[in-house]
Amino acid sequence: MITFIHFNTKHEGQFQFDRYASDNKLAVQIMSRTEDGKFLEPYATVSVCTEHTLESEDEFVAKEYSENEGLVQQFIDAGYFEETGRTVQFGYVSGRILRLLPKAKEMTS
């Protein structure tokens, strides 16, 4: 179980990993416990599908704008993702390319 804070509210949840159908790149979603604690529901998708080439199957382009602002950095700080030092431009925004670490894979649904 992961714990994260978003919009000044503490949440518990898990990561969920999949692949985008269009290009098989890594898709990263956060699932959050419902208020009664019985179920997990989608909370945020922290990856974005772009046409950019990534170097590894464990890399993804992070969505850190709009409703995801302030969300991703805490997972980097906690050792779930690591920075590659690369960014890509898509549309009017840019995104950091992050790498999934083994610790994150252990926190899946």
Amino acid 91: pLDDT:
87
Q: How many domains does the chain have?
A: 1
Structure-token match 């431009």, residue found? 89
Kindly state the average pLDDT of the residues 23-27.
93
The pairing of beta strand 59-62 with beta strand 47-48: antiparallel
Confidence grade of residue 109 (pLDDT, cut at 50, 70, 90): low
3-state secondary structure the chain: CEEEEECCEEEEEEEEEEECCCCCCEEEEEEEECCCCCCEEEEEECEECCCCCCCCCCEEEECCCHHHCCCHHHHHHCCCEEEEEEEEEECCEEEEEEEECHHHHCCEC
Domain span including residue 96? 2-105
pLDDT tens for 47-68 read: 999 999 999 999 999 999 999 9
